[in-house]
Amino acid sequence: MKENSKTDGAAFWEHALNFYNQPGAKEVLLDYQDRLEVDVMASLWALSAAVEGRSLNAEDVNEFFALTNKARMEASRLRKLRRKAKSDGCPEYQRLQIQELAAERAVASSAPPINSVGKADIFDANLGFRNLKLTLAISAPKVTQAEIWKLTKIIIG
């Protein structure tokens, strides 16, 4: 595992942005968020752990949800307001978009440090799949294994 010179929240935020910007990732993540109630930041955290060679367990995932609850609820609230503002053509849309992004960054800052969770493991797509499957089993049980593989492959290969 490599050491990060950045704070843990900043390192996770950087992973999240890089993952989100993978070709096709944004579209799949937003589709899953809307259709299957997937928590995007939880999914990206699970995949970040995999990339850092960390195998998560249920306790780790539950800790993520407990520590980030307030920030995730605020991001969800702002997302609903932003979507309504967009559909209504409201001038508040851009301000709400900025606030929602700040709330998502607060999720990253609240998340357990990747190097303190799970156990060391060898990084590969299977580790990403296992971490994501566990996270989604706890938070979005409607997601199928095929959907989990699709997201894993898009984001980490």
Per-domain boundaries in the chain = 8-113+120-156
pLDDT of residue 87: 82
Structure tokens at 156: 């980490």
Exposure class string for 72-104: b at 16+ Cβ within 10 A, else e: bebbeebbebbeebeeeeeeebeebeebbeebb
pLDDT of residue 69: 97
Helix (H/G/I), strand (E/B), else coil: 120: strand
Band (7; pLDDT cuts 50, 70, 90): low
pTM of the complete model: 0.91
CA dihedral sign of residues 41, 45, 46, 48: positive
pLDDT of residue 28: 97
pLDDT of residue 66 exceeding 50, the answer is yes
pLDDT of residue 27: 97
Structure tokens at 46: 């699970």
Q: Rounded to an integer, what distance in angstroms lies between the CA atom of residue 132 and that of residue 138?
A: 10
89-131 residue pLDDT tens: 888 999 999 999 999 999 999 999 998 999 999 999 999 999 9
How confident is the model over 64-83, as a mean pLDDT? Answer: 96
pLDDT of residue 1 exceeding 90, the answer is no
Where do runs of H (alpha helix) occur along the chain?
8-20, 25-36, 40-51, 58-88, 93-110, 125-139, 145-156
Band (4; pLDDT cuts 50, 70, 90): very low
Place of tokens 């060898």: 122
**How far out from the chain centre does Cα 47 lie?**
8
pLDDT of residue 8 exceeding 80, the answer is no
